[in-house]
A and B are shown apart, each in its own frame.
Chain A
Amino acid sequence: MAKKVFEKGKMVPVPSHSIIPERDLYKSPILECSHLGIDFGGLAAVKDFNITVGRTEIAGLIGPNGAGKTTVFNLLTKVYHPTRGTILVDGMDTAGKTPAQVNRMGIARTFQNIRLFNNLSVEDNVKIGLHNQTRYNALSGILRLPNYWKQEKMAHESAMELLSIFDMQDLAGHKAGSLPYGAQRRLEIVRALATNPSLLLLDEPAAGMNPSETVELMENIVKIRDTFHIAIMLIEHDMNLVMGICEGICVLNFGQIIAKGTAEEIQNNPVVIEAYLGKQKEG
């Protein structure tokens, strides 16, 4: 298998299936959260969460275990409904929307603990992501009308093209559950990309990967951003990854943002160091 070489700074051409509509890349932020918060039975799991993510930004969300990072993702994707605050996706309020509707508005995600459709083939997993874009009715599916073949062919090509990001075309026929761990993580990203998002949320994409796999993943995350012109927000504990590719980093502790800034600013921020390592003794 030929390894794809990622050239930094060079734009990879947009894939031919072109499921991504033209976007105004720099006009307005893709995601704006203001005063976002959620209580679980009196405990404020996330409070006063304010963040803005640009159209093609790679943003990192870090913090110690239990800080509320995944809760933020769950709020953004409407798995939880916020107690307070607003979330604007592409300028539109997501209040009262279901997870499926938010997905169609442009947010896709992966999961900390992999949640693939294990008994479906790799290709079908991706095709379920493509669900919104394939247009044929059930009757033409059963009777295999020409429209079905046309749409299926398009879906197949799109699926293969997306799988090619991670060199996974050869695995298309395998059951998702039978893939090795790293490949399952990559497939989750592909499946999320298939829903044509403008903001991709990655929940610990490098968890369980070895250093060389992590480096490859970093390259791929940047490549995905450059290919699809989308924003990516990721939760990660691997600081090399976060500091290496995130343009903006947000540090969460006990459900509150304690610092925001670039990698350098975060690394030198005493509040962040205290949250991770504890307070240094006087003297």
Chain B
Amino acid sequence: MTEFLNYLISGISLGSVYAIIALGYTMVYGIAKMLNFAHGDVIMVGGYVSFCAVFYLDLPGWLATILAIIVCTVLGVVIEGLAYKPLRQAGTLAVLITAIGVSYFLQNAAQLIWGTSTKSYASVMPGNLSLGGVTIPYISILTIAACLIIMVVLTQFINRSKLGKAMRACSEDKGAAQLMGIHVNRTISMTFAIGSALAAIAGVLLCSSYTTLNPTTGSMPGIKAFTAAVFGGIGSIPGAFLGGILLGVIESMAKAYLSSALANSIVFAVLIIVLLVRPAGLLGKYVPEKV
């Protein structure tokens, strides 16, 4: 039983990281209607920035995290402005391929700057909490709490704030939104800024849980978070949250009780089955085309 609880908590914690990343994917998809495959690599940059802040500048963990958030936010806006904005009128395939290009660019740039060797990352919140036989790392608690807070704040932001309303308007009809006085480009930039800030947080939390960091650290969690976003229904914020948590728990359970080598395959098999039954994802809306 304690073993099960340990796996469950580590699954929820992992799932929370996926959920935070998936929120970035889903927001950008919802508003800019594009898949930002470079999102995973922004996580890696966030990891490296916080690593350098702690390792070279001796900054405390929270300050390193804030620094990572600032750098990633700027990076996200710059990527959007340089790589995606000129392609606003181009087809989705062109943007998709550009995003893959940006992803490789970030990975290779990281190799140039920080080298290919794996760095050992010092957790921003070391230590464990023991409850009976169950050991919970503090970082897991922090991750789950961060995910919940982000989820609540983001939902409030989207539903209540002026910019949130502008985002929802852009996601429905950019042309009409523009003619209602909404600066669509600025709104999309802000979406990337928010998504990238979340990626930075995810980067710090992810590296703190796994304590390793290399230039491809972000790609696998990035793809899994994308899966989580599709699993929950892409474009839906509660969907990204649900998808992330479920994916984390499934992965953790598969590792523990089935096979650690097959864990990833099991995760994707579940995704395929869910999509066969619900093509729009768990919380996605299936809108039939009007003819």
Chain A residues at the B interface, C-beta cutoff of 8 Å: 77, 79, 98-100, 103-104, 108-109, 111, 115-120, 124, 127-129, 131-132, 134, 136, 138, 141-142, 144, 148, 191-192, 195
Across the A-B interface, the 8 shortest Cβ-Cβ residue pairs: A141-B161, A103-B181, A115-B176, A99-B178, A117-B172, A138-B161, A128-B169, A141-B160
Within 8 A of A (CB), among B161-178: 161-166, 168-169, 172-173, 175-178
Q: Is B153's CB under 8 angstroms from A131's CB?
A: no
- C-alpha spacing A119/B172, complex, angstroms: 8
Q: Which of B153-197 contact A (CB under 8 A)?
A: 153, 156-157, 160-166, 168-169, 172-173, 175-184
A98 with B177: in contact, given A120-B168, A138-B162 (CB under 8 Å)?
A: no
Residues of chain B within 8 A (CB-CB) of A119 are 168, 172
How many A-B contacts at CB < 8 Å in the complex? 85
Asked if A109 meets B169 with Cβ closer than 8 Å, knowing A141-B156, A142-B153, A142-B157, the reply is no
Q: A114's closest neighbor in chain B, by CB?
A: B176
Q: Which of A104, A118, A141 is B157 in contact with, Cβ under 8 Å? A: A141
CB distance from A79 to the nearest CB of B (A): 7
Q: Is the CB of A132 within 8 A of B181?
A: yes
Quick one: given A124-B165, A136-B162, A141-B157, are A103 and B172 in contact (CB under 8 Å)? Answer: no
Known: A100-B182, A103-B181, A141-B156. A127 touches B165 (CB 8 A): yes
Which of B162, B168, B179 meets A117, CB within 8 Å?
B168
Decide: B179 and A77 in contact? CB cutoff 8 A.
yes
Please indicate the chain A residues that have their CB under 8 angstroms from the CB of B177 in the complex: 117, 128
Contact assessment for B176 and A117 in the assembled complex, using a CB-CB cutoff below 8 Å: yes
Q: A117 contacts B156, CB within 8 Å? A: no
Within 8 A of A (CB), among B196-242: none
User: Which A-chain residue is minimally distant from B152 (CB atoms)?
Assistant: A142
Task: Return the chain B residue nearest A129 by Cβ.
Answer: B180
Chain B residues contacting A129 (CB-CB under 8 Å) are: 180-181
Q: Which B residues contact A (CB, under 8 angstroms)?
A: 153, 156-157, 160-166, 168-169, 172-173, 175-184
CA distance A127 to B182 in the complex (A): 12
How distant is A101 from chain B, measured CB to nearest CB, in Å? 8
Given contacts A100-B184, A128-B165, A128-B182, whether A120 and B172 have CB atoms under 8 Å apart is yes
Contact check: which of B156, B160, B172, B180 meets A131 at CB < 8 Å?
A: B180
What is the minimal beta-carbon distance from A108 to any residue of chain B, in angstroms?
7
Residues of A within 8 A of B176 (CB): 111, 115-117
Minimum Cβ distance to chain B for residue A119 (Å): 6
Question: Min CB distance, A40 to chain B, in Å?
Answer: 16
